[in-house]
Each structure stands twice: as structure tokens, then as C-alpha cells.
Amino acid sequence: MKKVLEAAGFVALVQGVLGLVQEFTHWQVGLVQRLSFFDGYDAVVSFILVMLACALFAAAEKLRH
């Protein structure tokens, strides 16, 4: 279970960071900017993904002990 949480956290972190990079540099990277229902909320969704990744990593660390 901890590997699944770590993998999901990694994906969320990468997508969140790529979304923030896209927001500030206008590069066409990441999945968040490709989904039309997030239109206008790209930076907020990307920030939430980074926070979700932190929570998933914390939950995976809690399972280790």
C-alpha cells in the first residue's frame, strides 16, 4: 500500500509542478492545462495537486512505522 501511495504522490507532485511551470512560463506541459473543466483554475488545481502529493507522502511515511 505504501508503494501505491508513493506512486500516486509522485504523479500528483509532477503534474502539480508542471502545471505551475506552465502557468508562469506558458510552456505547454502537464495534464492540468489540457483538461477543459479546469480552465481558469489551472494554478489553483496545480497548487492543490502539490499539497495532495505532500499528504500522500506523509501517509506513506506513516505506514512505514
Instruction: Give the pLDDT of the chain (65 residues) as one tens digit per residue.
Output: 889 999 999 999 999 999 999 988 988 888 888 888 888 898 999 999 999 999 999 999 998 66
The alpha carbon of residue 45 and the mean position of all alpha carbons in its chain are separated, in whole angstroms, by 8
In this prediction, residue 65 carries a pLDDT of 64
- pLDDT at residue 34, rounded to an integer: 81
Q: DSSP class of residue 60?
A: H
At 57 the pLDDT is 96
| Per-residue model confidence (pLDDT) at position 9 | 96
Helical segments of 1-65, H only? 2-25, 42-64
Q: What is the pTM of this model?
A: 0.87
What Cα–Cα distance (Å) separates residue 2 from each residue in 16, 48, 53, 63? Answer: 21, 21, 13, 6
Cell of 21: 511551470
